[in-house]
Amino acid sequence: MTNYPPSALSLRPAHTLAGVYSFCMDTYPLVEARNQLGQLVGRVRHGQEQILITEYGKPAAALIPISELEELQRLRDESDIAEARARQAAPTGPSMSHDEFMAQLEEEDRQEAAS
């Protein structure tokens, strides 16, 4: 079991698309997207388009091709591994289990997404 020090957790960048979207991306209000979901999914799947869905005028979700999702997940995993290795190389403070570490990272992501 790998232990990670909690002191550097706040240095982890947030992995969220909120506020970081392209203005050239097609945008649909939630109700309209719901009515056209099949068509929008087809555009994303076959045309490699990105579609932003808004709720009450604010970005709420995005439809992206699976290849882009996989790339985002790969980059996030690489970042998490690099950060864990850096923290392991220079531990400070009390250690925690891997499960505790991951739970704390996920909580930070939730808090960042809520703000």
Whether 115 shows a pLDDT value over 90: the answer reads no
Q: Could you tell me the CATH superfamily of domain 6-114?
A: YefM-like domain (3.40.1620.10)
Residues 6+ apart with CB under 8 A from 100: none
More reliable by pLDDT, 18 or 41: 41
Distance CA 17, CA 60 (A): 10
How confident is the model over 25-42, as pLDDT tens digits? 899 999 999 999 999 999
Mean pLDDT within 42-69: 95
Q: How confident is the model at residue 1 (pLDDT cuts 50, 70, 90)?
A: very low
Distance CA 71, CA 48 (A): 14
Which residue ranges make up each domain of the chain?
6-114
Distance CA 57, CA 44 (A): 22
Q: How confident is the model at residue 23 (pLDDT cuts 50, 70, 90)?
A: low
Distance CA 8, CA 101 (A): 11
More reliable by pLDDT, 109 or 15: 109
pTM for this model (two decimals): 0.56
Q: What is the pLDDT of residue 22?
A: 46
Distance CA 52, CA 101 (A): 32
How confident is the model over 72-97, as pLDDT tens digits? 999 999 998 988 888 778 877 677 88
